[in-house]
Structure 1
């Protein structure tokens, strides 16, 4: 066999691109050639934000394929068109890319490593006789739910259209009791988009069976029932840039590194870090309540405010807020999150509970205040609050708003009770043991690399 050459295909969203980029860099550091596929728009965003454009090396090749052009359509319509293109147009483009690479003088593709949401990726690889692996960037429990979709339908938990019919359920005696609100693929935007994802999930299982490796950014310690349910699922998490002594890549926005200097000036375990990922949207009332809650708390805070996080929130409002809270508060448009969470001044993390943020927080022993938005984030909140006991959730008032008083109260409850920090530090130690030499995640990744090279 020639030099291993892996074609990496993420689902084209920030939370999927980042961990697959991290895994790809880990593979590259073991001498494996990588071709990483992004949509044209995401490719531009990654390249514009990349701080190490010249440091990726000849073994790492970023390529793009066109899908949906920007248009005057509203965000929801554009998102629906993009999802349709991902499921129907993207497979043809990827197959053409494989043929183009394999017809050239460069190393031929020896393995396709893809997000299992892209069920067509394993089918294309199998058809072409190429080795196959999937990497799931969310909780392994969510992958169990995806693989048991027919059981969910047969048991009347959801109907054939993916509409929840029961509130609480248990897949098996070893799995925790769950709510249908925790099934991530049932809560994804518009009804049309939800239906597209549900139909894709139903088709997903045969393609996952084609995968020779099913890798998860998690550990057995975090989700024992999930890994015991299917021994084919292999833990390799937590995937963090600092574990390989490098910088993270794959962000869609340039990181504001000035916040690290600001953190250097703060007392140990004093700063509240607030970040809601790449998709969370607030209305004006909720955004202003959050701002007032942070002011009311009278604690130092670092807040990531994307340019599109809330309607009718302009630069003048943000500047006024920054002026009022300075120097106690610091606002940036995007942060180097892994470095922020590893900083000794961080006290807690107000988070949307995306799986990447969850893994980054618990890997640094940081307790959480949970503010889930959609998809699998309610499930992750349940883990954080009720299973691992490293955080608290917020309660909404009768109008559906998390009030400033609630924010202040929960901050005090979290930070005044040392049990949450103690539990977070215990969990951190467990995760770090997994990625050390001899740990389960370390060994699984090592065996995967050996398999790629044989």
Structure 2
């Protein structure tokens, strides 16, 4: 296909690992289907990806960068509200300059569509101006999106905002919510915590961006019908929406794969896993943004030690709030040979390893999907945003995990690990996890629900068919 005849997808990702990773995977799929793809990063994120080597795995993808409006030394993900505000206020004019540059270049085909992250909905205006499809890619869970667009309903019903801080501890968070379309009865604590307080900038940001996402020509979600089909059906009353996930499986089906990590992975841990018994290892990772206290770090560690299970723990340098992640010497001696600590792990490879039998996770959507795709049950300890509702679906709806209390103690940690790895309840979760793993694989195979949806949306992105 001649360069000028190829459809051209312009892709815009929000600059955090959780959003970048599935967007990169989708970009590789779209490129493999014959599209010319231009991927727009912020300058800061692009630099991180260059250092980690993930850009090198994106052969065939063209990159452009825009400033995020923040100084180089800014913490960004550790000050997420400031990052969101700066991107919303500063990025659109720079994105328009990229569009003008591409459309005035004889070396690339004219733009056919714009695929933008669901929390960067201002890009829809650019698509409308150009008269091309604007595609909102919701990289998190469909249940998370449904919660966010239901915030006005929850306000109307009086569930949020909380009346005062006493409602955090007086039992109110256990009250049930049964008014959200397409969802089971939930607790108020399942709603993202920033939704409790309208003075929190993230409340305004998420509500505004998600309502604006409904104005897209259509939306794609990194999920599959077998786990979130009822929510997708509910959302279709508001917007044409299609499940196309798990994109991590689709990209493996259609390409030679990619590394989408912003951290350098310590692949040597896989050799250590090779020496462990099948389904014996608990993998621990709280993602790229979660921060914990020194007390929580120590309680998690002693609980893992007491469980007597082998464990692999990815501990980022900035995992502990305001301090270094240093564990007691006595503990390190006790777990020597049974516990392995790395700064970052190749998570998909680790979860897919036959020695891994459980995953202690923050329930970010990428981590949750990766665990589902590997058939590994979870211990759920959410940190932020829609991770709370992901936990509820993992533990209560899909029944492939155990929900852990927010307040961590070593005794509870030990009990959770033993229950998951050795108990009858854990055996049933492992069986159910294997069923969902098989369903996820089926969804992306030819004739599967996500495969068929992908065919439809690629035609729409190319402008050959309306949805």
Which of 407, 410, 431 does residue 404 from structure 1 map onto? 410
How high is the TM-score relative to the length of structure 2?
Answer: 0.87
Q: CA shift at 1:77, angstroms?
A: 8.8
Q: Is the contact made by 1:123 and 1:207 (CA closer than 8 Å) also made in structure 2?
A: no
Please point out which of 397, 422, 436 is paired with 2:445. 436
Worse-superposed segment, 208-217 or 293-302: 208-217
Distance of aligned partners of 1:97 and 1:185 in 2 relative to their CA distance in 1, 3 Å threshold = farther
Check whether the contact 1:392–1:414 (CA below 8 A) recurs between aligned residues: yes
> CA contact under 8 A between 1:162 and 1:186: conserved in structure 2?
no
Deviates more, 1:278-287 or 1:308-317: 308-317
Name the structure 2 match of 1:217.
222
CA distance in 1, matches of 2:356, 2:393: 21
CA contact (8 A) 1:18 1:250 kept: yes
Query: Which 5+ residue runs of structure 2 have no aligned equivalent?
Result: none
**Equivalent residue in structure 2 for 1:379, among 375, 385, 389:** 389
CA distance, structure 1, for counterparts of residue 208 and residue 147 of structure 2: 13
CA distance in 1, matches of 2:155, 2:400: 33
Asked if 1:103 corresponds to 2:104, the answer is yes
The equivalent of 2:260 in structure 1 is: 250
Farther off after superposition, 220-229 or 110-119: 220-229
Q: Give 1:299's aligned residue.
A: 309
Per the alignment, do residues 316 and 174 of structure 1 end up closer, same or farther by CA in structure 2, a change over 3 Å counting? Answer: closer
Among 120, 129, 154, the alignment partner of 1:127 is 129
**CA deviation after TM superposition for structure 1 residue 159, in Å:** 5.0
Q: Distance in 2 between matches of 1:322 and 1:219?
A: 41
Matched-pair contact (CA < 8 Å) for 2:225–2:232: yes
2:142 alignment counterpart: 140
Alignment partner of 1:364 out of 370, 374, 385: 374
CA 1:318–1:36 in 2, change beyond 3 Å: closer, same or farther?
farther
Match of 1:203 in 2: 208
Q: Give the distance between the partners of 2:257 and 2:419, measured in 1 at CA.
A: 34
In 2, distance between residues paired with 1:246 and 1:322? 39
Deviations 1:119-140 (A, max 9, x none): 2011221122222111111111
Question: What's the counterpart of residue 236 of structure 1?
Answer: 244
Displacement, 1:439? 0.5
Cα separation, 2, equivalents of 1:238 and 1:333: 26
- 1:157 corresponds in structure 2 to 159
Secondary structure, counterpart of 1:330 in structure 2: strand
- Partner SS for 1:356: helix
**Which of 12, 30, 49 is residue 15 of structure 2 equivalent to?**
12
- Partner Cα distance (2:381, 2:451) in 1: 32
Cα deviation, residue 16, structure 1: 0.7
Deviation at 1:74, TM superposition (A): 7.3
Q: What TM-score comes out, normalization by structure 1 length?
A: 0.90
Report the Cα distance in structure 2 between the residues aligned to 1:278 and 1:423, rounded to whole angstroms.
Answer: 28
- Give the distance between the partners of 1:322 and 1:257, measured in 2 at CA: 21
Instruction: Tell me, in whole angstroms, the C-alpha distance in 2 between the residues paired with 1:271 and 1:148.
Output: 39
Going from structure 1 to structure 2, the CA distance change for 1:313 and 1:293 (only over 3 Å counts) comes to: farther
The 2-side partners of 1:174 and 1:56 are apart by 37
